[in-house]
Amino acid sequence: MISSAYAQTAPAASGDMQSSLMGMLPLVLMFVVLYFVMIRPQMKKQKEHRAMIEALASGDEVVTVGGVLGKVRQLTDTYVGLEVASGVEIQVQRSAVVQVLPKGSIK
């Protein structure tokens, strides 16, 4: 009723190793392409934004994430006081500033 079981011989290890490496090659290549196309440019953009935020000075004309234009009047470590109209000043986080405009852009 029960048949005998026989052990099978193991396949050659070197051929199996090469096929597994060749199977992983497309995955590695996709990661390398992803790094150069997406990750590296994003890190460069973050570095430039950080440098722009640190270089803010009183009198700079800036645009915030919400599209508000204003002149920098006060600077603290985390906040920027923007004058959006004569006599109207708002406080925004430094990270909310997305662009520094050329002098004289806001009239």
Parse the chain into domains and list their residue ranges. Answer: 12-55, 58-101
Distance, in Å, from the CA atom of 96 to the CA atom of 69, rounded to the nearest integer, reads 12
Which residue stretches of the chain have pLDDT < 50? Answer: none
Distance, in Å, from the CA atom of 8 to the CA atom of 38, rounded to the nearest integer, reads 48
Please, what's the b/e burial string for 11-41 (b: 16 or more CB within 10 A of its CB; e: otherwise)?
eeeeeeeeeeeeeeeeeeeeeeeeeeeeeee
Q: Quick one: tokens of 104?
A: 């004289």
pLDDT of residue 7: 65
pLDDT of residue 90: 97
* pTM greater than 0.75: no
pLDDT of residue 11: 58
Per-residue CA distances from 73 to 5, 6, 65, 85, 98 (Å): 86, 86, 18, 12, 17
pLDDT of residue 14: 57
Q: Phi and psi at residue 83, in whole multiples of 5°?
A: -95, 110
Query: Which CATH fold would you assign to the domain 58-101?
Result: SH3 type barrels. (2.30.30)
